[in-house]
Structure 1
């Protein structure tokens, strides 16, 4: 009897296996060759790219650990053309180029002729020194990885980062140019304050961070100002018509804040939570970290000479655009062959303090004598005008130096800081910064 039972079991097992091998599902899966499957994916992608009446929108974060995001809009056409716009710079117009769906190990979308997205892949266009020769780490070839909840999923060829296309609307296209004034607001003008703070409000107390923001990279790093704290985090920003969105949120009391709305009245970007929780990006004229370096220049100290050399320090990263603009206007008021070559500030030089202005083109140097005082609360050095001289004796204040010279004598005083880098030479670098304007001059200790 047991033998008959075993026979029946064997027959049943064979029948099950044969039935599985002849299933319709298996036939459909294995009847296609790899090329046929790729062609099917290609058609699938082509159909979906053309299916959206207003095209597609993608916020492209090439590396959110050091770069922000750039908004791109695409309208794909049946003839291999694509209309594209982006907020990479002030040019938000629509540009037409070509694209292809190419077959390799998988299907990829390739933008084959130059358009806005290629600006992120040019190696000679880089936003930070660390990205020299690497550009913005962007790509123009994207591997197709299917669809999810109406979104098209790609991964970049260059660094395999995910990029999602969502269906665009007509409003997306009309709103894109409105990102530009928001970008300008957070970037600032040449007269905007030089420093930024990020303030966290947990509903009962405020915590401040120095916010070192690179507008070209669209990335900022917040470093806690509290003594003894080493807390730091990055914000990778993309822009909208109303503000900035960080891919990496600020977390306060468990609340994730990422949507920073621009408040034009206070010139701040504010992300609000509940219960009084908020995060604010704001400008400040005062450096977040004050130093006592100004004390080296007060009366009774050894001689110090701080010199701006135009040939080396005009383009220094710490030389402000506002300073450069004043230098340019001053030089423009001189004869064509003359320009400022040096600004040397002497402290406690034989008991005297004076600014020496030197010129190219044979123009004689002039000297502005001053006295000093300090404000130990604001940690600023104040200069008070005394007299003007040239090599022949006392002279009236030169009119062409009025705007430049006035920056050194601002009533609020000057911040002085020894920097931690050098430029061309090994001389220590000091910056002299106005407490009331965006004037900052980079100098050597001579």
Structure 2
């Protein structure tokens, strides 16, 4: 009897200890979850304050080159490669002054907000010229009254050099806010237009990609610098028997003019990377984009194989 009683007592003690351990672990887990939630909230709130400071830090505001229909196929939606330039000057914690190539006669002041969710979001919260891109009543001619697919909620994805990086909320297209200049407010496209007209003139153009100086790819590239600006990539093959040269279209995209470079949308994809912003290299007279160990370039050429 004593032995049985001792076993029963031991079981009770063990069960009680186990239950206490479970309760303690659950309590710790809840505390850890609460600490994690609090630290996550603190991080987002800190990011919010930093982004607000960044938005207001550029004296002349920010320039955005926006291709609202860049995910559409050109064969389905004519004009899907068209870009629109915007200038945003964030004057205080809630107001933003803006101008756009959509209508250069309009200089507007609108409201914006920074909102916390799964990530930090910049929302243009009152109707402005940016919202025209989502309004069917402002559709481009020839689009059958269809809206141009614009968005006005941008998710913050940090910085690249001195630029601010966002993604559109629905289509997740990357956007880049460049620091604007006084000249941009006079003529938004003047800087790059002048470079293309004077410093970037050649018999032909070539897109190339390299890794640490070793060339990996090159393609014929053509630029339409005026009107509906476009970039077209081709490959050229020569029939070994007949000697006939064939050019094959591999890419057609829109061309936009930033403050310090050009934008190509949809971007050029290579080795799992998408190159869409090419910065002007004034020393070597070419446009350059670097992601990781891959450098992509757009340069002038007189080489017959690229003409």
- TM bucket, shorter chain: 0.5 to 0.7
Q: Does 1:112 align with 2:126?
A: yes
Equivalent-residue separation in structure 1 for 2:51 and 2:218 (angstroms): 46
Task: Measure the CA separation in 2 of the matches of 1:149 and 1:2.
Answer: 66
Work out whether residues 281 and 288 of structure 2, in 8 Å CA contact, stay in contact via their aligned partners in 1: no
Shift of 1:16: 3.2
Residue 221 of structure 1 corresponds to: 232
Distance, in Å, in 1 between the alignment partners of 2:171 and 2:134 is 14
CA contact 1:182–1:262 (8 Å) conserved in 2: no
Partner of 1:363: none
Q: 1:176 aligns with which of 184, 187, 194?
A: 184
**How many residues of Structure 1 are paired with residues of Structure 2 in the alignment?**
254
Largest Rg, 1 or 2: 1
1:237 aligns with 2:255: yes
| Residue of structure 1 equivalent to 2:299 | 280
Equivalent positions of 1:14-413 (< 5 A) are: 14-22=19-27, 23-27=30-34, 47=49, 50-52=52-54, 53-54=56-57, 57=62, 58-65=64-71, 66-67=80-81, 68=83, 70-78=85-93, 80-86=94-100, 88=101, 91=104, 95-99=108-112, 109-115=123-129, 117-123=130-136, 125=138, 129=142, 131-140=143-152, 142=153, 148=158, 153=166, 155-156=168-169, 159-162=170-173, 172-174=180-182, 176-177=184-185, 179-182=188-191, 184=193, 198-200=205-207, 209=220, 211=222, 213=224, 218-226=229-237, 227-228=245-246, 230-246=248-264, 248-249=267-268, 259=278, 261=280, 270-271=287-288, 278-280=297-299
Contact residue 270 and residue 281 of structure 1 kept, 8 A: no
- Kindly tell me: are residues 139 and 214 of structure 1, through their superposed partners in 2, closer, same or farther at Cα, counting changes over 3 Å? farther
Please give the per-residue CA displacement for 1:41-67, whole angstroms capped at 9, x wherever unaligned: 998787556433326645534243443
Give the equivalent residue in structure 1 for 2:75.
Answer: none
Task: State the Cα distance separating 1:134 from its structure 2 match.
Answer: 3.1
Q: Aligned partners of 1:149, 1:258: CA distance in 2, in Å?
A: 14
Provide the C-alpha distance between the structure 2 equivalents of 1:50 and 1:110, rounded to a whole number of angstroms. Answer: 13
Q: Cα distance, 1:232 vs. partner?
A: 0.6
CA RMSD after TM alignment: 5.6
Q: Which has the higher contact order (CA 8 A, sep 6+)?
A: 2
* Contiguous gaps of at least 5 residues in structure 1: 32-36, 283-287, 290-446
Deviation at 1:137, TM superposition (A): 1.9
Gap runs ≥5 in structure 2: 1-5, 72-79, 238-244
Q: TM-score, normalised by structure 2?
A: 0.53
Residue 208 of structure 1: CA displacement? 6.3
Structure-2 residue corresponding to 1:13: 18
